[in-house]
Amino acid sequence: MATLDAITTKYARDGKTVQIVGLNVASAERHERLAGKLGGSGS
């Protein structure tokens, strides 16, 4: 999840929107719950 968060943050800094597709239900729920809280540097 930290990798997805870092990628999303990296593109958001450039004003882009990221849509993550293909996660199963449990992973999608986990990502929603943890997004922005994992401290990904995005570099």
pLDDT tens by residue, 5-35: 888 889 999 999 998 899 999 998 988 888 7
Instruction: Please tell me the predicted confidence (pLDDT) of residue 23.
Output: 92
pTM over 0.75: no
Which token pair is 38? 């994992």
Note the pLDDT of residue 42. Answer: 44
Is the model more confident about 43 or about 13?
13
Determine contact, residues 2/40, Cβ cutoff 8 Å.
yes
Instruction: Please enumerate, as own/partner, the contacts of 30-37 that have beta carbons within 8 Å and a separation of 24 or more.
Output: 30/1, 31/1, 31/4, 31/5, 34/1, 34/5, 35/1, 35/4, 35/5, 35/8, 36/5, 36/9, 37/5
